[in-house]
Structure 1
Amino acid sequence: MGFTVLFVIFCLVFGVFWSFESLLCLLLALFICVLYDMYNIIKRIFYICYYKITRRFSPKKLMDANGFKVMCLPTDVDMNLHLTESRLLQECTFAHTKFWTENFMYDALYSRQAAIHVAGRYIRYKYPIKLFESFEIISHVISWDETAFYVSQ
């Protein structure tokens, strides 16, 4: 959200000082920020719909491992040209979405009006992911009890 505020301030300052229509500039800035922030929500909804369709062709069981392929793009890197931690966590969330959708857990939880929450996450970085490098996030259930599933990625 900090990026959104800075972008709006930037557009207001340059809109006022360069004699642009500051209201039009503000509306454009808000539209871009809403579109930027909403992109991940739209992408997650798309993934849920897509995987609900494709799971019919290759059904999986709960204990099966599930892979999610990702490629590091120029918008995902930091100044050292490595994948940022925030983007990796975002891709892990999309991998969770694919895993739970293909294993029919979203449907079971939706019928009971329940939700999935990530209570904790432990990340160990083995090597940096460089620009345009492909990698795969593999998810599988390790164990479960009465209150939680323990998933490894």
Structure 2
Amino acid sequence: MPSRRERANAVRALSMDAVQQANSGHPGMPMGMADIAEVLWNDHLKHNPGNPEWWDRDRFVLSNGHGSMLLYSVLHLCGYDLPISELKNFRQLHSKTAGHPEFAETPGVETTTGPLGQGIANAVGMALAEQVLARRFNREGHQLVDHVTWVF
């Protein structure tokens, strides 16, 4: 099994290669946040690559969507339906790996983000909705809704 450092470095390498090949994109955020993303996705985030729309999954919002290769690399490495061929098509027309994450285009992307700050607002709305659902449906001894929202 690869070490944490190896997994984070894989995120960095995939991100650098995709940005370089596209001759467009923002490599800084994926390079700097690879270690944080590796720990979050492997140790804390409740998700299922085989069922990315599982209703009780944790939500991850990449607010600074211009750093999208961080998310795409992590999704690929975690086993989501995002093959290496899609990473190689980063920022290309009809690719699942647009310059900013797009909801319903890429498995594992929870919301479309673009303008800085938009993702924070979306994540706050998701977290509030989770609280409403939990209050309505959870009962003592029966936690039906226990997912959380994470945002970078």
TM-score range, shorter chain: under 0.3
Q: Normalized per residue, which structure has more strand?
A: 1
Which of structures 1 and 2 has the bigger CA Rg?
Answer: 1
Q: TM-score, normalised by structure 1?
A: 0.28
Q: TM-score, normalised by structure 2?
A: 0.28
